[in-house]
Amino acid sequence: MSHALTLMQWLSPAFPVGAFAYSHGLEQVIADGVVTDAPSLQDWLAPLVQHGSGWADAVLLAVAHRADTGADAEAAARAFAASAERLQETDLQGAAFCQTARSVWGVEIDGLTYPVAVGRAAGIMGIPLAETLPMYLHAFASNLVSVAQRAMPLGQTDGQRVLAALTPVITDTATRAETATLDDLSATSFAADIAAMRHETLTHRIFRT
């Protein structure tokens, strides 16, 4: 049985986690003039997926998917959050995901950060990790492309070019994360972490993070 439609629903912009409200620090670097066009956006997103919070989320999702309770992954997710805004982002989205998954699918999860919630729900429903990880990372990247389209001059076609160019990065990161453990949890996108911290004091903000 293919679970593609369930994953598409969970990770679509229509799913009520409010992902559209979070820029993951991207709004700050757009304001700084670091990300100004499609090439610089791609340069910002690729390492974020492959070596930054995208990778960390993928590891947490994978560990939660394989676990009996996800408690270790949840504790690591909260401890590993690099800033108050990053924790807020994953906490609020996770709570919203849990609430909807309980209400619609009867999945008994509550109070989990976002990647842990998705991993636990997929594990409980028997959705393979190999299907879940690339869809999650694609949704992560797609949301940030959408952020850029709202915060800077970036056309729809250029946005899709960026997302298409990220496909090999998403595929590679998902494959590596399938067998990852909490010992593999890491992030080396320090500029993105600092941007998320600085975003708290950005004077004119569209996004929550």
DSSP conformational letter for 182: G
Of 143, 197, 193, 134, nearest in space to 167 by CA: 134
List pLDDT tens digits, range 156-197.
999 999 999 999 999 999 999 999 999 999 999 899 999 989
pLDDT of residue 55: 98
List pLDDT tens digits, range 61-101.
999 999 988 899 999 999 999 888 889 999 999 999 999 99
> What's the CA dihedral at 86, 190, 196, 111 to 10 degrees?
0
Average pLDDT over residues 27-31: 96
pLDDT of residue 91: 97
Q: pTM for the full model?
A: 0.96
pLDDT of residue 23: 94
Q: Classify domain 22-196 by CATH number.
A: 1.10.4190.10
For residue 2, pLDDT beyond 80: no
Residue 119 tokens read as 């991993």
- DSSP states of 73-105: HHHHHHHH--SHHHHHHHHHHHHHHHHHHHHHH
